[in-house]
């Protein structure tokens, strides 16, 4: 039987004897605020738009998870595996995932990944992209935006780095 307890009270929020933890999370994804999902294997889970605010996701495997549009504010993501997670439009927790909105683009970054809009690459890859690379991603409008904001984005990451 899979159970999802409340992070703070320990009271069982959701349980189902026929569903594994991923399916249980997907079924109740809009209501996972304050859930205790520490050490859960959520690899590849579709948590698009989920309310994970104040959830305990410490040590959780969220690699390849779809967290687009998810609310992760005040979530505990310490030691969580966020590799290849889709963070498009996610609200970060201000520690492991930071989020910024600049004009038409939502920006999320972790200790090594920077997602701008739907484009997700390592911070070092972003730093190495040429104007032509950026133009291929989003045309001339994207290039003009990038020229205007790239130095500020990298300075922000430097001054307010995400933690593991």
CA distance 155 to 112: 15
Per-residue confidence (pLDDT) for residue 22, from 0 to 100? 84
- Provide the whole-model pTM: 0.87
Domains of the chain, residue spans: 2-159
Q: At CA 87, angle to CA 162 and CA 147, rounded to 5?
A: 75
Mean pLDDT of 125-154: 96
Residue 46 has pLDDT above 80, yes or no: yes
pLDDT digits (tens, 9 = 90+) for 114-132: 999 999 999 999 999 999 9
- DSSP character for 29? G
């Amino acid at each position: 039987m899979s159970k999802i307890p409340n992070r703070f009270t320990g009271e069982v929020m959701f349980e189902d004897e026929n569903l594994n933890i991923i399916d249980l999370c997907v079924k109740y994804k809009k209501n996972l605020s304050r859930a205790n999902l520490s050490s859960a294997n959520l690899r590849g889970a579709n948590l698009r738009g989920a309310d994970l605010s104040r959830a305990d996701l410490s040590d959780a495997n969220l690699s390849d998870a779809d967290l687009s549009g998810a609310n992760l504010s005040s979530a505990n993501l310490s030691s969580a595996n966020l590799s290849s997670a889709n963070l498009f439009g996610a609200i970060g927790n201000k520690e492991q995932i930071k989020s910024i909105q600049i004009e038409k683009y939502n920006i999320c970054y972790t200790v090594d990944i920077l997602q701008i809009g739907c484009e997700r690459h390592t911070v070092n890859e972003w730093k190495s992209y040429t104007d032509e690379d950026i133009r291929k991603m989003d045309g001339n409008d994207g290039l003009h935006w990038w020229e205007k904001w790239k130095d500020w984005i990298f300075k922000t990451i430097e001054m307010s780095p995400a933690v593991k």
